[in-house]
Amino acid sequence: MSDTFPLTRELAAAAAPCIDTADRLAVYTEMNLGAQQHAIDDIICAVLREDHPIPAVLLDRLREWLAVSPIDDRGLAQRAARVRTT
């Protein structure tokens, strides 16, 4: 597992009330395959679609990871910026 696995797991738990079965299957499959970026992207998309808030501290950790991560962003940072916080 990558070092982002705990962050991804916490994001998935925080978003659990708004993630449907198909999203849940995709997220946990990607997590277990080590594709944390894709899992996080799916989580953020579901959160935005359902307008579900995420704890501010968790979003801060996500933003910190995005700032230093050599990932193919594909707009993930912009989507994360639109997430409501609790």
- Whether the predicted pLDDT of 56 surpasses 60: yes
Residue 1 binned pLDDT confidence (cut-offs 50, 70, 90):
very low
Q: Kindly state the tokens that stand for 60.
A: 């801060």
Residues 30, 32, 36: CA angle, nearest 5 degrees: 50
Residue 3 binned pLDDT confidence (cut-offs 50, 70, 90):
confident
Task: Please name the amino acid found at residue 70.
Answer: P
Percent of the chain with pLDDT over 70: 93
Give the per-residue pLDDT at 12.
96
Burial of 57 (0-12, 13-18, 19+ CB in 10 A): exposed
